[in-house]
Structure 1
Amino acid sequence: MTVQDTSADLAFTADWEEWHRQKDASLAREHGFLAVTGLHWLDDEPQRFPDAPGSWWADDDGVGVDLAEGEELVVDGTPVRGRHLFGAIPERGGVEAVWGDAVIEVAKRGGQDLVRPRHPENPLRVRFAGTPAYAPDPRWVVTGTYTAFPEPRPTTVGAAVEGLQHVYDAPGEIAFVLDGRPLRLTAFNGHTSGSLQVLFTDATSGVTTYAANRALHIDAPAADGTVTLDFNRATNLPCAYTDLATCPLPPAENRLPVAIEAGERIPYERISESA
């Protein structure tokens, strides 16, 4: 190995370590998923919850809350008391109402309205010690080819919550070769313009990596459809840490028959549960 090779490997590792540090920091932010204390599904019967103020309901007009005397929420910077109507929440959308040092998330997932309080002092967040991961290795960086479908394909997938389903428009698929084996992944739209995201499982799922899913962000394809899949950056979704998340599961075709020993592993919190 040359000095140049060693320098490149050190830079690759340092870049990955910084990415992983930032990823864990985002996960553990004050009102991130580790702060969630409850997943409360709403119907037309008003309900009170131990970790949120008010009585909550949802009907054809959307979500509402009746706050008792002395209770207050701050919505869009404005204090509200008594009855407050949030209106219809769009699918995969949400509103955050502030309650003291907590945030009450009002959202819709799988066509159902929910309330999901987030408390910074939640023990899951306070005790978070980072996410275990495989050591970064350049061999898990592969080049693929993205092919757009003639029209985005509505794709129904399951969810971490039993009985819930998500529907995403899949814009295309990615073909690549790993250890001489041709593979394909259905891609969904990513969180930034032109980018993609794939949800997948592989032969490590349920053994060294989280059983239900992992996710991989992929930068926008080049003009010729070329994409880079860096499986070192395969991440856990929130459901890997908490049962209070509604994460989507991979489509059936994204269950890879190979062991991808790269990226994030089973969280310490799940390891301790099964011990």
Structure 2
Amino acid sequence: MTAAAPATDAQIERWQRFRGSRNTALATPHGWLTLTSFQWLESEPSAVELVPGLWSTNGTTASLTASAADGLTLVETGEPVDGTITAVLQDEESLMWVQFGGADGTQVVVELAMRADKYAIRTRDNGSPVLTEFDGVPTFDYNPDWVITGRYEAYPEPVDVPISTANPLVDGVHRSVGEVVFHVPGREHEVRLHAEEEKLGALNVTFHDETNGNTTDEWRKVFVPRPRPDGSVVVDFNRAINYPSAFTPYGTCPMPVSGNSIDVAVEAGEKLPKGRII
């Protein structure tokens, strides 16, 4: 790859604003940096790690039995849990259900989740050192050569493609709406990557590249603004970001579709979080 063209002050400023917003969003209370466990619920009421009460599921409904002395309250209302409460979710849904701990009783939020048609809970602890010691995600320096113009080729209809996730017990589905096609610096052949649709017609592309497992996580994603009327798109790999599973072992983040790989080192965007070793 040839030397990068100089970046303009305006490009650097826009990128720095993006990085500031990204780091702020990651560091929100009870966000992705606060996950401290992922636990499947059993059929019999059972104790779980890190959380008071007895938890169970009959397959369609999740149940929690606790006394007022356990200190659990409902996230939505603040009402104490004293007895048995239940909740029903659809696959891939989550509910910030109960909370406890800390001076105000809200340090830990317990998220109820339905994954692979099974109920699980995740604890979100604002005292997690991943959050308290967070000072931003390391990144490559901004490189305008990695702002690439390509094209979008939409499918006649979306195609559901089975994929794996960060949790080997949870399979996923990638709803491919088309392919983003472009050339990368230093390569003559085209790269084609499956894309999912986001809000307002934007696209989400999850990809592997040759930096994975070295300077970056095992995969990353980049959001692509809505294609122009002529089908052209701009892919800014300086804005490639990590999935939550780069920061925590308790994510169920989707892996790329088979073949969604770039055969060069994309030295742009987010690197491995500090302290993370693959």
Instruction: Provide TM-score, normalisation by structure 2.
Output: 0.89
- The one-character-per-residue Cα deviations of 1:54-88 (angstroms, maximum 9, x if unpaired) are 2111223321111134233214225143111111x
- The one-character-per-residue Cα deviations of 1:237-261 (angstroms, maximum 9, x if unpaired) are 1111111111111111102211111
Amino acid in structure 2 at the alignment position of 1:224? D
User: 1:121: how far off?
Assistant: 0.7
Is the contact made by 1:109 and 1:166 (CA closer than 8 Å) also made in structure 2? no
- The one-character-per-residue Cα deviations of 1:132-155 (angstroms, maximum 9, x if unpaired) are 100111110111211111221111
Higher alpha-carbon deviation: 101-110 or 127-136 = 101-110
Residue 73 (structure 2) aligns with: 73
Distance 2:98 2:45 in 1: 20
User: CA distance change for structure 1 residues 85 and 208 in 2, over 3 Å: closer, same or farther?
Assistant: same
Q: Which of 160, 163, 175 is the aligned partner of 2:181?
A: 175
Distance 2:44 2:177 in 1: 39
Alignment of 1:201-212 (within 5 A): 201-210=208-217, 212=218
Distance 2:216 2:243 in 1: 12
> For 1:24, what is the secondary structure of its paired residue?
helix
Residue 83 of structure 1 pairs with residue 84 of structure 2: yes
Residue 92 (structure 2) aligns with: 92
Is the contact made by 1:203 and 1:256 (CA closer than 8 Å) also made in structure 2? yes
Higher alpha-carbon deviation: 247-256 or 41-50 = 41-50
Q: Which of 154, 161, 168 is the aligned partner of 1:162?
A: 168
Distance 2:34 2:240 in 1: 23
User: 1:181: how far off?
Assistant: 3.0
Residue 194 of structure 1 pairs with residue 201 of structure 2: yes
Distance 2:24 2:231 in 1: 32
- The one-character-per-residue Cα deviations of 1:110-140 (angstroms, maximum 9, x if unpaired) are 3322101111111111111211100111110
Residue 29 (structure 2) aligns with: 30
Is the contact made by 1:65 and 1:83 (CA closer than 8 Å) also made in structure 2? yes
Higher alpha-carbon deviation: 53-62 or 117-126 = 53-62
- The one-character-per-residue Cα deviations of 1:1-53 (angstroms, maximum 9, x if unpaired) are xxxx98x7111111111211211111111111111111111231222223223
Alignment of 1:234-249 (within 5 A): 234-249=240-255
> For 2:21, what is the secondary structure of its paired residue?
helix
Residue 254 (structure 1) aligns with: 260
> For 1:269, what is the secondary structure of its paired residue?
coil
- The one-character-per-residue Cα deviations of 1:219-238 (angstroms, maximum 9, x if unpaired) are 22222222110000000111
Distance 1:224 1:54 in 2: 57
Q: Which protein has the bigger helix share?
A: 1
Distance 1:131 1:144 in 2: 27
> For 1:254, what is the secondary structure of its paired residue?
coil
Distance 1:193 1:66 in 2: 42
Amino acid in structure 2 at the alignment position of 1:94? S
Alignment of 1:85-164 (within 5 A): 85-87=86-88, 89-99=89-99, 100-101=105-106, 102-164=108-170
Amino acid in structure 2 at the alignment position of 1:73? T
User: 1:172: how far off?
Assistant: 1.1
Distance 1:152 1:145 in 2: 18
* Paired residues, number: 264
Distance 1:57 1:223 in 2: 51
Residue 55 (structure 1) aligns with: 54
- The one-character-per-residue Cα deviations of 1:146-183 (angstroms, maximum 9, x if unpaired) are 11112211111111112321113211111111123310
Residue 270 of structure 1 pairs with residue 276 of structure 2: yes
CA RMSD of aligned residues (A): 1.8
Instruction: Give unpaired runs (5+ residues) of structure 2.
Output: 100-104
Higher alpha-carbon deviation: 145-154 or 47-56 = 47-56
Amino acid in structure 1 at the alignment position of 2:63? G
